[in-house]
Structure 1
Amino acid sequence: MDYRNLFDGIDDKIKLSNGVLLTPINFDNGATTPPLKSVTQIIYDNIKNYGPIARGVGFKGEYCTTMFNKARDIILDFFCVLDNDDYTVIYTKSDTEGLNALANVLIQDKDDMVLTTRMEHHANDLPFRRVAKMVYVEVDVLGRINIDDIEEELIKANGKIKVVTITGASNVTGYITPIHDIARLAHKYGAVIIVDGAQLIAHREVNLAGNSKDEEIDFLTFSAHKAYAPFGSGAIVGKKDYLNEEDPFLSGGGCVAGVFDERLIWTAVPEKYEAGTQNFFGAIAMAKALSDLKNIGFQNIEMHEKLLKDYIINSMKSIKNVIMYGDVDYTDDRIGVIPFNIKNRDYSEVSIKMATENAISLRSGKFCAHTYVYRLLGVSDSDAYRDVISGEYFYGMIRASLGLYNTKDEADIFLNELDQISTSRNSRRVRKHIGRIRF
């Protein structure tokens, strides 16, 4: 099925430097997705009704407050926990903000331990480095994690690991992690689980409750701009009990029931964690996008994206000089994220050439997952450090990441261009000698 008619802006032609007009191809959905038309429409329909949320009295304020709170129920329903009173929704501006908030709220002692993996985006690593002792689970040669390694580390820590935080799907290889299996392990050894859902929620159904209490996901974070509502919004969906016990990450107006000379009383969750003026349009746009995805059906979404992903991967395997990363033979546990390089070609130059000559948007670099990319490239930590210190940035990849609206015709254009670049004559990229690096 062709889903392109559901999206805004994807067929607007752009002018290349040579004057040619082309319909752009966005294979960079892992970074940001275009909006659904329904999302654009809900913004347009509500722009004239914009008013204060939970402040003041008046039609616009009451209307926006009602819509704002209704969006929470839509999000809870999307994650299959609408009728589960344990869960709430806290609005954030991004997945990164949500993970930083959880790191600061859930970790109370610098000696507490947090388990994560070498597969993570920086957003699910760096916030926890600041507040806790880190335990990292390694990836194998194909970039996968083994949950037996997670259990081994949990046993070894003897109850000192307080949080297990893990990606739902990798933004580099697209691997989907068995989040409910990991939740069982985390709970078995006395830890809570956080799932970074940024790359997962637009591509697979997520039931936070799982099939049992042990399988419940305690917290999930995500950004709406990776799920067809790019308006600077995100959320934490999580357990109220943990959040009621701690002070919020941000403070100010709207998060307190009373403020006195020497003390204060916090409001209840979720408002306790939503200080300041909230992003009304972001919340309703996010809820609308998630509602539409649910209505389309994740079985349909998964089928469409799997066909396109498998077609591209299998075609790339036969193109000369293309280097692929991750498992390209068994791909059922991968969403449509495809990292690659071209032998003896600069990764940034290839992506620039694709964009400027064919209007194909890709991502190049290390995708805010440096330690993972270095492992896939077989680069040591010391060599990676020297590369950055030198300013050379020799190591990197190119990434194609697919969305619901992408088509086989677009894939063919991309594959044809990839074949031309990979087989054309090119001088080998040679590392320049820039003198001694001082450390």
Structure 2
Amino acid sequence: MTAITETPACPAGTVAALAPVLPVVGHDTPAPLVDGRRVPYANLDVAASAPALQSVADAITRTLPLYASVHRGAGYLSQVSTSLYETARRSIGEFVGARDDDVTLVVRNTTDALNLLAGCVPASDDGTPGRVLVLDVEHHANLLPWQRSADATVVVGRATAAATVTALRDELAAARAAGRPYALLAVTGASNVTGESLPLDDLVATAHAAGARILVDGAQLVPHRRVSLAATGIDYLAFSGHKTYAPFGAGALVGRRDWLDAGTPYLAGGGAVRSVRTDHTDWHDGPARHEAGSPNVLGAVALAAACETLAGIDPVALREHEDALRRRLVDGLGEIDGVQVVQLWADAADAVGVVTFAVAGYEPGQVAAYLSAEHGIGVRDGRFCAHPLLARLGYGAGAVRSSVGVGTSGEEVERLVEAVAALVADGPRARYDVVDGLWIVVDDPRPVPEGSGLDGLLATAGPGGDEVFGCLPEGA
């Protein structure tokens, strides 16, 4: 597997030549179109769930014959599986620059990680829940847990990144001066709506200056940029395997030990305890405290394999590749009459490969259905689990999100730009309607894949009794 070593500026017409950085499973999967053709599926929904790296699939294949119980058996395969699991834990922590005394917890996903940490934020001096400061730009996973388990204050983002950091700094300082300091600043590493980032170094310094710790939601950041807790001073980092090219049900929370060792065990069950009596339980410290039950060995191995593969890519080359694709999306879509590209901050420090847009005269769900049915392109439509942000930006009804990654080619990006331009210029070729709140193709002729289960869920009887199906919902 060879990474791209140099990426040109890639104006229109040249980005199409860019090949994927790494092979991913399913890149050449054919997608049927309503006109009877089949084209390679263009997965531009990487921000929702990224395809598996081929190296990850290979690691799973190698591990399956070795799978057995973990931390509980003396048998040979149990010992091997335990070693694989703990080795994977170390690889995951090393990938994000964990400090020597940090804890790496294997969880289900970023949402799981943030809910876990929300139960570990220490109480304030007066015994009330610990105070947490967040922005309205956050994914719901980095908003709802704090509202439920802590004393959360939400700051509305400003028009620029610099002003947003200043607003956070002012709130942290004022709370400390008033004797009610925040325990934690919880921020996104990269917006799941626009891909834009706030300057992490400034955020870390701002939090620490006010006596607070900082949690970074790295779900969109870690798959695209190298992050180091040791180098940046980030206290906690959460991320998901399914967004990091390892969709096997594992994610990670990495960070400082003291809160995690003192916090309420996330799950009550076997493996989290040293001893149990009918009237008392002695809980473990460290990872075991929060990882009750049989761990997801295969998920941990998959995430570790993805981390190791991504660590082997020249980070400059990866950034240049994704920057070229992102620039083409922003520039190409922005040049189409009636298309608006969503932006948070004109002075954003960085932006990963996520571009959200709206097409005048078309609902987001209709655009997504059209792209799928007539061009074989998968995108996301809706509000992207970021309802407060979309409402503030004027997209309360939702928008369309395209996103790229290491397995994305330039041709796929060009196909999207051309497809949106064709929609605006000529309209859709197929007929679309809303059924049960979802946009579908009327009399959709595309075949149902065998064994998919869709025939019983979405199929109807078409002319001659052939099975046809409606578009799967792109999400809300």
Q: Normalising by structure 2, what TM-score? A: 0.81
The 8 Å contact of residues 99 and 123 in structure 1, kept in 2 or not, is answered as yes
Match in the other structure for 1:216: 233
Report the CA distance shift for 1:203/1:144 in structure 2 as closer, same or farther (over 3 A). farther
* 1:157 corresponds to 2:175: yes
Could you tell me how far 1:258 is from its partner in structure 2? Answer: 1.0
Match in the other structure for 2:392: 375
Match in the other structure for 1:434: none
RMSD in angstroms over aligned alpha carbons?
Answer: 1.9
Report the CA distance shift for 1:145/1:424 in structure 2 as closer, same or farther (over 3 A). farther
3-state DSSP of counterpart to 2:197: coil
Could you tell me how far 1:413 is from its partner in structure 2? Answer: 1.2
Q: How does 1:426-437 map to 2 (within 5 A)?
A: none
Match in the other structure for 1:132: 150
Could you tell me how far 1:184 is from its partner in structure 2? Answer: 1.7
Match in the other structure for 2:245: 228
Equivalent-residue separation in structure 1 for 2:316 and 2:204 (angstroms): 24
Which shifted more, 28-37 or 138-147? 138-147
Match in the other structure for 2:13: none
Could you tell me how far 1:161 is from its partner in structure 2? Answer: 1.1
Equivalent-residue separation in structure 2 for 1:328 and 1:149 (angstroms): 14
Match in the other structure for 2:202: 181
Equivalent-residue separation in structure 2 for 1:21 and 1:351 (angstroms): 18
Could you tell me how far 1:134 is from its partner in structure 2? Answer: 2.0
State the AA in 1 paired with 2:111: T
Find 1:348's aligned residue among 365, 370, 384: 365
The 8 Å contact of residues 144 and 175 in structure 1, kept in 2 or not, is answered as no
Equivalent-residue separation in structure 1 for 2:345 and 2:280 (angstroms): 58
Find 2:404's aligned residue among 402, 408, 411: 402
State the AA in 2 paired with 1:126: L
Which shifted more, 348-357 or 1-10? 1-10
The 8 Å contact of residues 143 and 376 in structure 1, kept in 2 or not, is answered as no
Match in the other structure for 2:300: 283
* 1:171 corresponds to 2:171: no
Residues 48-106 of structure 1, C-alpha deviation per residue, up to 9 Å, x if partnerless?
Answer: 1110100011111000000100011111211123xx32212101011101100111121
Unaligned stretches of 5+ residues in structure 2: 5-18, 429-476
Find 1:148's aligned residue among 137, 144, 166: 166
> How many corresponding residue pairs?
405
Could you tell me how far 1:180 is from its partner in structure 2? Answer: 2.8
State the AA in 2 paired with 1:65: T
Could you tell me how far 1:17 is from its partner in structure 2? Answer: 4.1
Match in the other structure for 1:57: 74
Match in the other structure for 2:214: 193
Report the CA distance shift for 1:144/1:309 in structure 2 as closer, same or farther (over 3 A). farther
Match in the other structure for 2:282: 265
* 1:104 corresponds to 2:125: no
3-state DSSP of counterpart to 1:209: helix
Match in the other structure for 2:465: none
Match in the other structure for 1:391: none
Could you tell me how far 1:329 is from its partner in structure 2? Answer: 6.8
Which shifted more, 114-123 or 265-274? 265-274
The 8 Å contact of residues 216 and 238 in structure 2, kept in 1 or not, is answered as yes
3-state DSSP of counterpart to 1:22: strand
Match in the other structure for 2:415: 413
Unaligned stretches of 5+ residues in structure 1: 385-394, 427-439
State the AA in 1 paired with 2:205: R
Residues 204-230 of structure 1, C-alpha deviation per residue, up to 9 Å, x if partnerless?
Answer: 1101112xxxx5111111110001101
Equivalent-residue separation in structure 1 for 2:160 and 2:108 (angstroms): 33
Match in the other structure for 1:116: 134
The 8 Å contact of residues 168 and 199 in structure 1, kept in 2 or not, is answered as yes
Residues 143-201 of structure 1, C-alpha deviation per residue, up to 9 Å, x if partnerless?
Answer: 88621111100112124211110110000011112223212221221211111100000
Q: How does 1:199-348 map to 2 (within 5 A)?
A: 199-210=220-231, 215-326=232-343, 333-348=350-365
Which shifted more, 179-188 or 408-417? 179-188
Could you tell me how far 1:36 is from its partner in structure 2? Answer: 0.7
Could you tell me how far 1:247 is from its partner in structure 2? Answer: 2.4
The 8 Å contact of residues 122 and 129 in structure 2, kept in 1 or not, is answered as no
State the AA in 2 paired with 1:55: R
The 8 Å contact of residues 39 and 288 in structure 1, kept in 2 or not, is answered as yes
Find 1:85's aligned residue among 100, 118, 123: 100
State the AA in 2 paired with 1:310: R
Equivalent-residue separation in structure 2 for 1:5 and 1:197 (angstroms): 21
Report the CA distance shift for 1:254/1:74 in structure 2 as closer, same or farther (over 3 A). same
Equivalent-residue separation in structure 1 for 2:86 and 2:254 (angstroms): 14
State the AA in 2 paired with 1:16: L
3-state DSSP of counterpart to 2:228: coil
3-state DSSP of counterpart to 1:238: strand
Report the CA distance shift for 1:154/1:329 in structure 2 as closer, same or farther (over 3 A). closer
Could you tell me how far 1:296 is from its partner in structure 2? Answer: 1.1
The 8 Å contact of residues 164 and 192 in structure 1, kept in 2 or not, is answered as yes
Report the CA distance shift for 1:131/1:75 in structure 2 as closer, same or farther (over 3 A). same
Report the CA distance shift for 1:167/1:43 in structure 2 as closer, same or farther (over 3 A). same
The 8 Å contact of residues 161 and 348 in structure 2, kept in 1 or not, is answered as no
The 8 Å contact of residues 362 and 400 in structure 1, kept in 2 or not, is answered as yes
Match in the other structure for 2:425: 423
